[in-house]
Chains A and B, each alone.
Chain A
Amino acid sequence: MIRLIKYLKPYSGLILLSVLLLFIQAASELALPGYMSDIVNRGIATADTSYIIKTGVLMIAVTLLSVVCSTAVGLLASKTAAGSCKDLRSDLFKKVQLFSNAEFDQFSASSLITRTTNDITQIQQLLIMMIRMVFYAPILAVGGFLHALAKSSSMSWIIGVAVVMLLCIVFTVFSLAIPKFKRIQTIIDRVNAVVRENLEGMLVIRAFNTQRFEEARFDEVNKELTAVSLFVHRVMSGMMPAMMLLMNLVTVAVVWVGASQVADFRLDVGDMMAYMQYVMQIIMAFLMMSMMFIQIPRASISAGRIADVLKTEPSITDVAESTVPMPRLRGEVCFDKVTFSYPGASEPVLREISFTASPGQTTALIGSTGSGKSTIVNLIPRFYDITEGEIRIDGMDIKKMSLHDLRENLGYVPQRGMLFSGTIRSNLTYADANASEEEIRKAAEIAQAMEFIEAKPEGFASAIAQGGSNVSGGQKQRLAIARALLKNPQIYIFDDSFSALDYKTDANLRAALKEKTKSSTVLLIAQRISTIRDAEQILVLEQGRIVSRGTHKELLKQCEVYQEIAASQLSEEELR
């Protein structure tokens, strides 16, 4: 919470002005009972109607003043909250842009999303309330007490008792309810989880006829949720009646105690009436404050989550961008005894990886899941930094290049063809905003995407939904390939990017790519032997090490792991 205070600094003027206005508002609110007391004590007692009306007009003026103040505070609070949250959101977003995969792993992308969206909205809500109430409630309470004291000092104990009782009620109710609130949240999560499982496993559930079992499973969490919420509701529903009782009793107490004082002429009747209203205002102020204290912890969790992101320094630091444009690279990628372990992990996932991928050649990586294929290629764009060894491009350590220059030379196609919302065109030109129509078409053709793009009524202008959810997996992959081609890089990285394509498209695509990538360095990960068999160099990985390297032919002869993979995939042919 404290760490985010600096975001309020630019608005400190507005906040100061708000406090000032709140003072005026409280003063005018508290003046009203005094005027009423005057009407009773002097106006009615002396039957002076003109005095009554004069006082009344004054009261209206004071009321007007109060409403002007509170509206102004509303304006200032809204501007302050929305403004500081805008700055905060912007800083957070910029910070996340600098994060490498290490930080994304640490927080998880979905958590970062909620932090940038939900948590900030929470804080904005709280800020508005804070400004309007946190200052106002104490002012009102203290002011009310002073006014009450001026009317009668001997009844102060009533206020004391009332406040203590109020705090007791609030404390009891919330100490009973708040722990359960958290529990409710976790049970709701479980209810959701069961329903989600039911929806995802619908076919299985029906095939196994386990509907009754699933219903019982749901009923269990449903019952639990019902029981806990019932408890909370019942506790909470005691709050209002208790409050009402407290306020009513306070009124009675004031009159009761006041009666004898009036009888002894130590107190005017009008003052007693005013006193009752002051006590009400004080109780209200304390009520406001206790509500605040319930809200603050919730928002401070949000604030803490945001502050955690802001204070995290990206593990990959960029060298200052060189002013001289980088000469076009040849694209020779060289791994020199590279060892890598994920941040926080004890065991390295890659050990002493050394190889050179030369321009004009295809270097393929193959191995079972978890053998470290993707990890190797993810090190080239510096999604992670290596633990030991060196990665060089054209003989230059990639840590010495600026991230921008390095990445400018890479064409990366991920396993899941990841697309952005927009159109097919906007996704392709993401690589190069100035690409010509011809270039776009050419790239789509090579990627074998032209056929389905043209089949769409709107062609390149067809909309792509968020995450590319409205195109199939194979289409996504092809578009992602076309996007990488448009960038025209020296180094291509295909991370199992052909997996969703059928054999025919896969073959056509590779044939077309060959021409395009003639002089580039190509790094290729694949599961299918047929995809990589033409590679100039195949690296066979197992448990983070290169266990063998060579061409398809050579490996079939020498490498056992490779034989095993080949045998499982190519066994159709043997019986053909």
Chain B
Amino acid sequence: MSEKKSSQREPGFRGGPRGMGEPVQKAKDFKGTIRRLSAYLFEYKKAFIVVLLFSACSAVFSIIGPKLLGRIITELYEAVMAHSAGITFVLDFQYINRMMLFLVGLYAVSSLFSYFQNYIMSGVSMKITYEFRKNISEKIDRMPIKYFDSKTHGEVLSRITNDVDTISQTLNQSLAQIITSITTVIGVLVMMLSISWLMTLVALLVVPLSGMATMLVVKRSQKYFKKQQEYLGHINGHIEENYSEHNIVQVFNGEKEAVRKFQKMNEELYDSAWKSQFLSSMMMPMIGFIGNLGYVVVCILGGYLAVKRTIEVGDIQAFIQYMRSFTQPIGQIATISNTLQSTAAAAERVFEFLSEEEEIEEVTEAKIPTEVSGRVEFRNVTFGYTKERTVIRDFSAKIEPGQMVAIVGPTGAGKTTIVKLLMRFYEMQGGEILIDGNEVRSFRRNDLRSIFGMVLQDAWLYNASILENIRYGSFGRSDEEVYAAARAAHCDEFIRALPDKYNMILNEEANNISQGQKQLLTIARTILADPKILILDEATSSVDTRTEVLIQKAMLHLRKDRTSFVIAHRLSTIRDADLILVMKDGDIIEQGTQQELLESKGFYAELYESQFTNGDVEEAAVEEVIKEERQDQ
């Protein structure tokens, strides 16, 4: 659980710069994932070719610069030396000016190429990112509900945000960087070789050296980073728990203990935090040191060679510049392997998600439900959420149009299972369900589901106006029809009392109206949809009595002339039911009318008894009161 939590919270942690040596997530199938990702990129091959060309041009143009500059410096140096030797040497300023202008042009063109390459690349990567997000969101709608039984919302969300983001970052920065780095390294190498092979050799020695240094630091710091991450997880968990349940902490006088525990965790965190920070902070100076070492060696060797007249003075200057632009891309390439690893891991998760099984339409000639009367028949239905455990065995029942089925049982008994099968949110393993004599699997899922209307315990509303929420799913209906549905659902009155009436926007948590009001809105929505068969979950635990009465009335209205499946929490609903299904531990253990069930003296009878055990004198008193009231009316 804590792991899932932390993945949900990840966006918050993204702010800080990624320390070097942080542990990298690795893909299980690196090659396969990269191949798949490449296939995605292949669609944009034209853009990639242009990017490649541009970045190569940019690199080449900027690489010529130092060499030309070096030549000018040599020229100057010669002039000075000649002068000190007493020979007159006229500096060709016209030549220098021409060269300078040429250089300015060269650098400008190089930067332009580099900018356009970036420009194109961001376009491509944003497009790909957009596609990824779109694919994932559409995928969600096509996946079987079953998939989400074992996944938290946070996990799915993290695909859309974190993972796609990682991929986008890599495409946007690293990919162009790889190309530029590689062209730069090759170009620089050529230029360096053209100056002096000996100096190039020395400069190249820097590469394995800095590579080794990097490895050394990364290896050591990774251990501490892992520890830091772990301790951070512990301490965050403790804080979360303590803050969100502070009333319990207070009333049990647990503050001192909480602080003691916190201090211990805090010490542990400190210890790993400074060590990991220190180790990762060593990276820069170490690489800098090795770079400087190369610089010094180039100076010495260059000076020596210049004395020997093997190279020119300007070449030293050029070589120093090349060295600088050589070590930088090498460093980048070193971190790119890490980036690729984490990108592959992210891409793998995205691809895994995208290739999850979908709800497939297996019908070739789908029947279209018209004029549904609402007769439902279950024939030997067998079902289990997992293959190992069958929860519904050989269930058969016939429900005539307009009849009511009540499903009862203790919490967690799986009362919604039948409903989920009926609407094909899950596939049964055996038997069949018929609606007006047609097997449910002979319809398209969408057509099948359009027969049903549903009011669930968790009233689902979205961030839009009340009007839009009621009209949800029946988008063609007029405002008048919406008002009529609201009146039928007894919510017109409270809506009109709201500040913006029907145009009030429900906020994200939809907590600007009460739980009961939310339920009334979903009832109005279902009334407007006018379904043939109804599914009602009538839990009203967090609703006050008056609203509850309204909800009951609205539901009664809704049920009229419709076949309905009611997930009952109060036994009052049940006495009207034509069929009661009693569920326990996922299984239907009894079925029949109330009369039959009471006579059989089974689980239902027991449940019934327990609810009304205290039925004694006082109960009679209530009845008296109520009867009197009725008479008054």
Contact = CB atoms under 8 A, between A and B. Distances in A.
B137 A204 contact: no
B1 A470 contact: yes
Interface in B102-141: 103-104, 107-108, 110-112, 114-115, 118-119, 121-123, 125-127, 129-130, 133-134, 137-138, 140-141
Of the candidates A66, A204, A209, A368, the one having the most CB atoms from chain B within 10 angstroms of its own CB is: A204
B307 interface: yes
Interface in B85-115: 91, 93, 96-97, 100, 103-104, 107-108, 110-112, 114-115
Interface stretch (A261-269, A352-360, A390-398, A517-525): A261-269
A207 interface: yes
Interface string A508-524: 00000000000000000
Given A59-B296, A207-B423, A412-B251, A466 B278 contact: no
B514 A369 contact: yes
Interface in B61-78: 62, 65, 69, 72-73, 76-77
Contact of B300 (A53, A125, A192): A53
Interface stretch (A89-97, A142-150, A325-333, A334-342): A89-97
B105 to A, nearest CB: 10
Contact of A71 (B73, B140, B282, B303): B282
B449 A206 contact: yes
Contacts of B292: 32, 63, 66-67
Given A191-B161, A210-B473, A404-B253, A556 B625 contact: yes
A117 B240 CA distance: 9
Contacts, number: 471
Given A222-B137, A238-B118, A230 B126 contact: yes
B133 A191 contact: yes
Given A203-B425, A237-B115, A211 B274 contact: no
Interface string A242-255: 10110011011001
Interface stretch (B202-210, B349-357, B492-500, B609-617): B609-617
Nearest to B613: A507
A298 to B, nearest CB: 7
Given A44-B307, A104-B246, A207 B76 contact: no
- Mostly, the B contact residues are helix
Interface in B224-279: 232, 235-237, 239-255, 258-259, 262-263, 266-267, 269-270, 273-275, 277-278
A508 to B, nearest CB: 9
B281 interface: yes
B281 A414 contact: no
B251 A56 contact: no
Given A256-B100, A572-B575, A198 B306 contact: no
B316 interface: yes
B572 interface: yes
Given A74-B278, A195-B160, A259 B96 contact: yes
Nearest to B516: A369
**Which of B286, B307, B612, B621 neighbours the largest number of chain A CB atoms within 10 Å of its CB?**
B307
B546 interface: yes
A199 B148 contact: yes
Contacts of A459: none
A233 B128 CA distance: 14
Contacts of B278: 74-75, 78-79
A140 interface: no
B216 interface: no
B561 interface: no
B446 interface: yes
B383 to A, nearest CB: 17
Nearest to B571: A572
B91 A263 contact: yes
Among A116, A259, A381, A565, which residue has the most Cβ atoms of chain B within 10 A?
Answer: A259
Given A39-B299, A230-B123, A369 B454 contact: no
A560 to B, nearest CB: 10
Contact of A209 (B125, B130, B157, B446): B446
B289 A63 contact: yes
Given A70-B284, A233-B172, A86 B270 contact: yes
A99 B245 CA distance: 12
A208 interface: yes
Interface stretch (B5-13, B329-337, B388-396, B435-443): B5-13
Interface string B46-65: 00000000000010001001
Contact of A503 (B249, B575, B607): B607
A415 to B, nearest CB: 9
A315 interface: no
Interface string B420-461: 000101000000000000000000011001101110101010
A571 interface: yes
Given A93-B262, A530-B614, A56 B299 contact: yes
B335 to A, nearest CB: 16
B449 A383 contact: no
A251 B104 CA distance: 10
Interface stretch (B189-197, B482-490, B537-545): B537-545
Contacts of B423: 206-207
B30 interface: no
Contacts of A375: none
A66 B284 CA distance: 12
Nearest to A68: B285
A573 B239 contact: no
A372 to B, nearest CB: 12
A430 B544 CA distance: 33
Given A81-B274, A421-B237, 7 more contacts: A36-B299, A52-B299, A74-B278, A201-B460, A263-B93, A407-B250, A465-B2
- Sort A-B residue pairs by CB-CB distance and give the 6 closest, nearest first: A208-B473, A368-B544, A237-B118, A74-B281, A56-B300, A504-B610
28 contacts: A32-B292, A44-B303, A67-B285, A67-B289, A74-B282, A77-B277, A121-B13, A195-B140, A199-B148, A205-B141, A208-B454, A208-B472, A222-B133, A244-B107, A263-B93, A276-B317, A368-B545, A369-B544, A420-B245, A466-B2, A472-B412, A533-B618, A563-B625, A564-B546, A568-B549, A570-B622, A574-B627, A575-B575
